[in-house]
Each structure stands twice: as C-alpha cells, then as structure tokens.
Amino acid sequence: MQRIRKGDEVIVITGRDKGKKGTVTAVHSDGKVVVEGINIVKKHVKPNPMLGQAGGIMDKTLPIDGSNVMLVNPKTGKGDRIGFQVVDGKKVRVFKSDGAVVGAKA
C-alpha cells in the first residue's frame, strides 16, 4: 500500500516549489509523483504539421520525488506524516498526529 495516492492533496516540503499545495495527478512506480501546478518547466517544442501541433514554448509538469511531498491533514491544513493501521479488518492510512483515517469524512 502506498502512502501517497492519486487524488490526494499534498504540500511540497523542499525544493523550488516549497510550501505550495496541489493535487496528485499520477503516481509512478519509481516513487515519483506528478502534482498539479508543481514543478512546471518550459519546453521548446518543434511544430509537427502531421499531428497539427504548433511549435513554441510550452509549459510541462514534471514528476517530483515522493519524499519531497507530505499529505495535507484537512483538520490542520498542514503537512502530516502517514502510518498504517488495521480497522475493521482493512488496512488503512492514518495521520500520525491525530490518528484520523485518511480520506474519512470528518
């Protein structure tokens, strides 16, 4: 079970985008995550008339390492560490600070 999943709201804890929040749009098997609005770079693109693609400078979102983001606890609005517990026979993610289940309705 992964600590960070697609759809989670995370905060960047280190690097160029430190302090920014965003939603995870993809999780790669090598531990990297793509976060909406984070780690955006400029990419020079050649035009491709066969695909109808215009050339120019495009914005592209690159993956960031999973260790550089923390899940946001909705109660506090801050980044929080994640642990695992078995609740009703199911393994669930819980916040370490208050023991609340991740994604549970408050």
- CB burial string 30-47: b at 16+ within 10 A, e below: eebbbbeebbeeeeeeee
Q: What global pTM score does this model have?
A: 0.83
- Adjacent-strand bridge partners of 9: 23
Would you kindly state where each structural domain of the chain is located, as residue ranges? Answer: 8-95
Beta strands 82-87; 79-80: pairing state:
unpaired
**Domain at 8-95: CATH code:** 2.30.30.30
> What does each of the 106 residues of the chain score in pLDDT, given as a tens digit?
689 999 999 999 999 999 999 999 999 999 999 999 999 999 999 999 999 889 999 999 999 999 999 999 999 999 999 999 999 999 999 999 888 898 776 5
